[in-house]
A and B are shown apart, each in its own frame.
Chain A
Amino acid sequence: MTSTENVRPDGDAVEVRIPADVVYVSTLRLTAASLAARCDLTIDDIEDLRLAVDEACALLLPHAQPDSTLEARFELAAGRLAVEASVQTADSAEPDRSGFAWTVLGALASSVDVRTSPNRLAIVVTKTREAAHS
Chain B
Amino acid sequence: MSDAHRPDRDERAQAGEMLAELHRLPEDSEPRRRLRDQLVELHMPLVVYLARRFTGRNEPMNDLVQVGAIGLIKAIDRFDPSRGLEFSTYATPTILGEIKRHFRDTGWLIHVPRRAQEMQTTLNAARADLSQELGRAPTVHELAERIGTEEEVVLEALDAARAYSGVPLDVLAAPGESVPEHPMLGKIDEGYEQVEQRALLREAIGRLPESEREILLLRFIANKTQTEIAAIVGVSQMQVSRLVARGLKRLRETLGAPEPIVEPRRRKS
Contacts and interface: CB of A to CB of B under 8 A. Distances in A.
Q: Chain A at the B interface: mostly helix, strand, loop or mixed?
A: helix
Given A30-B155, A44-B100, A47-B100, A103 B2 contact: no
Interface in A1-27: 1-2, 22, 25-26
A58 B3 CA distance: 10
Contact of A51 (B53, B163, B267): B53
A44 B32 CA distance: 34
A57 B53 CA distance: 13
A107 interface: yes
A96 B7 CA distance: 12
B186 A1 contact: yes
B268 to A, nearest CB: 8
A104 interface: yes
Interface in B41-61: 45-46, 49-50, 53
A99 B6 CA distance: 5
Interface in B129-187: 150-152, 155-156, 163, 186
Range of interface residues on chain A? Answer: 20 to 34
Interface string B68-103: 000000000000000000101100110010001000
B100 A101 contact: no
B222 interface: no
A106 B89 contact: yes
Range of interface residues on chain B? Answer: 20 to 34
A108 interface: yes
B56 to A, nearest CB: 10
Contacts of A22: 1
B152 A30 contact: yes
A94 B6 CA distance: 16
A103 B89 contact: yes
Residue of B4, B111, B150 with most chain A CB atoms under a 10 A cut-off: B4
A103 B53 contact: no
A96 B6 CA distance: 10
Interface in A65-121: 96, 98-101, 103-104, 106-108
A104 B5 CA distance: 13
Interface of A: 1-2, 22, 25-26, 29-30, 43-44, 46-48, 51, 54, 57-58, 61-62, 96, 98-101, 103-104, 106-108
Interface of B: 1-2, 4-8, 45-46, 49-50, 53, 86, 88-89, 92-93, 96, 100, 109-112, 150-152, 155-156, 163, 186, 267-269
